[in-house]
Structure 1
């Protein structure tokens, strides 16, 4: 049996799911897409039930990848029961999707979530009357506290296979006239398919009908739509939306009693957080605090893991034990362990710390306020407010930042955000900027690299926003109410998101490390160094050994600095490199191809084609900037 969780974003659906399934879940992409589905298993009354957490959507439209995947899953995979999670404090907006789901004729149960929050806001829902009106079971829940979750599953079990006599939308005369015309030519097609045809949702129609019937239905519907719009000067799409909202409003008026609540401290705090002036100041402070915590706590944990565990107790003894082994076997072992070290040092310190903070922001409702405040700014980069969090995360680590582009609506936005994140100087690049330029060239020289990076990122975002083809999604987001985050929920969400890196990026990181070790043992890195010498020495003016250090930076960015010291024979870089060369090396390392772990998650999110294009672009951009620094840098350094 399969139960599908469907609902708007921020209704508590994921909290509901994680509470119900615990940590035994599987995260995977829907076939042919980059949209993630989370699956888990629940046992109830001796039956094993697969539960699927579908992406949060506002409608069964076709404007975002999330909407398309949800619609495709419901039609093609056809779950046994839909569990539609509604936010009781935002019932009218949520019912828009509910009315669309009813037309699919799949057994459904309503989980009326956040009942406690609705009551705080003076909203009282007559659950029995709502159930009677919709013709569906309605179960009140408070997912964050685990209340009502088991009851929802047990009720859903009872609805499996039932033919529900549910609520039918009464469309306006204009739409009924069009449907009557289609009924005459296509009597066997369901009302939901005919509505989709009128809305020109070809994907929905093609999923439900064979190609000849689908093409004919879309053609007939197009004629009806054009005639009606010419005759009545009303958009069919707008009319359907108006009808659905009208029905939602009617239902809410029938089942909701509103009591005017007094102005609470939460309301006053909310007013500050969303104000144009104070809100921006708070947001900047929150972003700086996030960056500081990720950098400081992550850096402390990384030092402890690397210097306190791996180097003295694992890598040191293993290097000593493998001293007499053939170089290929020794390098395979040592480099693989270094890959494990890099993976653990990235996953635990930076990803887990950031996702813990992100979960707090998400559960408290602050995330939607940050997106709202920065929407205008990010629109100039071809994105919208929701992209703020992944971009900020990139300063800590590019890996979780690119994983966070799931939240963006369209593939176009995911491509733009992923490229911009790849250019953001993460904490590992910061090690190179501060450890090389900050120490041996000067503080302001190091600051200038950040300024240069911000300029490049802004310029690339503006260019891509203007030129990259693809769908632009509008930014419609309900402001979720402020509430106190629950520790248990935060820890579970942190674990579920962090382990995605371990499953996706860690294996490729391990393979990449082993490959570099074998290449080094076979002398291929030396061959590479000789091969690129005309480029590294002739064009860029760097020392010959710098090219090999740049290659190791692909494994882990700060390793470029470590290998540079090994190859140079000293950590006093001023003795072997000029200030211009150090500045140039740091800039190239900061811009060119991200580390193996980042490449792995890029491939997971975008596929090999887009990943290859991003890698090649960053390499050529780094070389171009490096050449400019060689010839114009002496005027400034």
Structure 2
């Protein structure tokens, strides 16, 4: 048995999924697209049910990759029931999608989420009346608190077993006539969804579905064109807009019948955006919030890093003394210890509070505000609209940032977004910024690198857009309401990302440390460092940094962990000056994307774009680091 979670963005659908999945889930995607859906297995009334969280979508028109994935999944995959999640505070918008889903001919349960927020805004939704009007179960829910989840899944299990198909919404006579005409032609075709739904999608002009049906019913394209012409002649509106307006009309009528508005009183939460999105004060608050955030990460990381480093340094020295040897085996053991200590004492102390804080800002609703503020700023320097989305994702990981460039309609915009988002300091680079600069130079120097990073990205974008001039679309954002995140959701989300480092990156750090120990033992690193010597001279860096930079291509954390291995000590201050640490870190922040990011670029944009972006990042990293070195020498 399989249930599909479908809803519009910011409706709380993924929160519901994570509540029942416990972040034990797998991602998948259709061939030809990198927009993913997430799957897990849950137990409902004794049965094991496959639950799929499909991308957030406003409609099934398939005008973008997310809509395409949802429609393709529903058309091609057997789904026993749909759990449609809507936001109680935006019921009209949610019900337009509900009406579209009811056309598919699948059992469906309507979940009205965020009932607590609706109550706060003075909204009362009569779920029983809405259920009677739609003919489907309607369940109230507060997903963040786990309220109503068990009841919703139990109800979904019952209607799936009963195969209770809802009646499709009825539209204007001329639309119904066109639907019936197409339906009669495709009644003998084999699709998991209703033939009525296929007919509607044909009227809406879905090119992919039209080609698929055309292979089974050769005359269908001519018939669809005839119906388009007839509807356009009768209403002077294209069929796709005529159907959309009908759904919106029905949704408004439903909302008026089941929703009442009581008296509300504005609270501080309602007035927050007057300050946080202000043309001037919004940026002041942004800088203050991010400074507080980074200072908190630095404070926690410093508090944990110092004793852990002392412990592992003593352990390393004790083991080497006990082995009475400076041979290969002793160096391998020492390398393994340094790899373990690098992850536990240098990376995790900063990564954990960073991801927890990032999850908090995301759940409270502030990340979307940051995207809005940055969009307004970037418009003035040549960057536009949807390009902001990959930048925000990039602070977690550059790979999903590259994948998200699929939302760009234009190839030029996808290239520009991918090129610039690879320069955003991801969580892996965080370890270098905080473990090296913040710890040894100071937290304000680390914050300065983040601000400098934004400046370089903006400048690079401006230069590229000068050579590739073109107007890009603006950004339309739906601002989620401010919510108080629960400890469970924030920590679970952080653990989901930390787990990736522990099980994927940390073993690479340990293996890399061992490999570098072997290379040091056989003096292989001397040859690599010699190759990089002109570059190190240019930036004023120690000759030992060449090999760590090579390792950093695989994982950015390796560039610092291997640096300790190359120096033979984790006391970087004894081997590098504060200026050298800053220059080295600036270079690492910008230079060659990690291997996984390069593969993502190749998959999205092709091999030529991958190498072009790689070369661009090396050039930008060198010039940015050189500029910092010159400024530091002058001051």
TM-score with structure 1 length normalisation? 0.80
| Cα distance in 2, alignment partners of residues 135 and 406 from structure 1 | 39
* Cα distance between partner residues in 2 of 1:54 and 1:476: 21
Aligned to 2:300: 297
Q: Secondary structure at the residue paired with 1:479? A: coil
The answer to whether residue 246 in structure 2 is matched with residue 247 in structure 1 is: no
Instruction: Tell me the equivalent position of 2:392.
Output: 390
Task: Give the alignment of 1:556-567 within 5 angstroms.
Answer: 556-559=558-561, 562=564
Shift of 1:91: 0.8
Gap change, CA 1:214 and 1:74, over 3 Å in 2: same
SS of match in other structure, 2:25 = strand
* CA distance 1:55–1:466, shift in 2 (3 Å): farther
Q: Quote the Cα distance in structure 2 between the aligned partners of 1:516 and 1:481.
A: 50
| Counterpart check, 1:266 vs 2:295 | no
Task: Provide the residue aligned with 1:276 in structure 2.
Answer: 279
Post-superposition offset of 1:82:
1.3
Instruction: Give CA-to-partner distance per residue, 1:471-502, whole Å, 9 cap, x none.
Output: 97764443333333222332223223432444
Q: Structure 1: give runs of 5+ residues left out of the alignment.
A: none
* 1:40-79 equivalences in 2 (<5 Å): 40-79=40-79
Instruction: Say if 2:350 and 2:435, in contact at 8 Å, map to a contact too.
Output: no
After superposition, where does 1:30-429 map in structure 2 within 5 Å?
30-32=29-31, 33-172=33-172, 175-176=175-176, 178-179=178-179, 182-183=182-183, 185-188=185-188, 190-205=195-210, 209=212, 212-213=215-216, 217-218=220-221, 221=224, 225=228, 233-305=236-308, 307-313=309-315, 315-317=316-318, 319-320=320-321, 324=325, 327=328, 333-344=333-344, 348-378=348-378, 380-384=382-386, 387=389, 390=392, 394=395, 400=397, 403=400, 410=407, 419-424=419-424, 426-429=429-432
Q: 1:381 to 1:234 in 2, by over 3 A?
A: same
Assess, with a 3 A threshold, how the Cα gap between structure 1 residues 30 and 521 changes in structure 2: closer, same or farther: farther
* Distance in 2 separating the partners of 1:39 and 1:166: 25
Secondary structure of 1:79's aligned partner: coil
Does the Cα contact within 8 Å between 1:86 and 1:112 map onto a contact in 2? yes
Cα shift at 1:155: 1.0
CA drift of 1:275 comes to 3.8
Aligned positions, number: 613
CA contact (8 A) 1:359 1:494 kept: yes
Are residues 357 and 386 of structure 1, via their aligned partners in 2, closer, same or farther at CA, if it must alter by over 3 Å? Answer: farther
**CA positional deviation for 1:458:** 0.8
**Alpha-carbon separation, structure 1, partners of 2:352 and 2:440:** 29
The offset of 1:615, in angstroms, is 3.9
Q: Provide the C-alpha distance between the structure 2 equivalents of 1:348 and 1:625, rounded to a whole number of angstroms.
A: 28
Partner secondary structure for residue 168 of structure 2: coil
- Name the TM-score, length of structure 2 as normaliser: 0.80
2: CA distance between counterparts of 1:310 and 1:47? 49
Gaps of 5+ in 2: 190-194
Q: Is the 8 A contact 1:428 1:557 kept in 2?
A: no
The 1-side partners of 2:355 and 2:514 are apart by 29
Q: Distance in 1 between matches of 2:421 and 2:516?
A: 25
Which moves more between the two structures, 228-237 or 160-169?
Answer: 228-237
The Cα shift of 1:3 comes to: 1.6
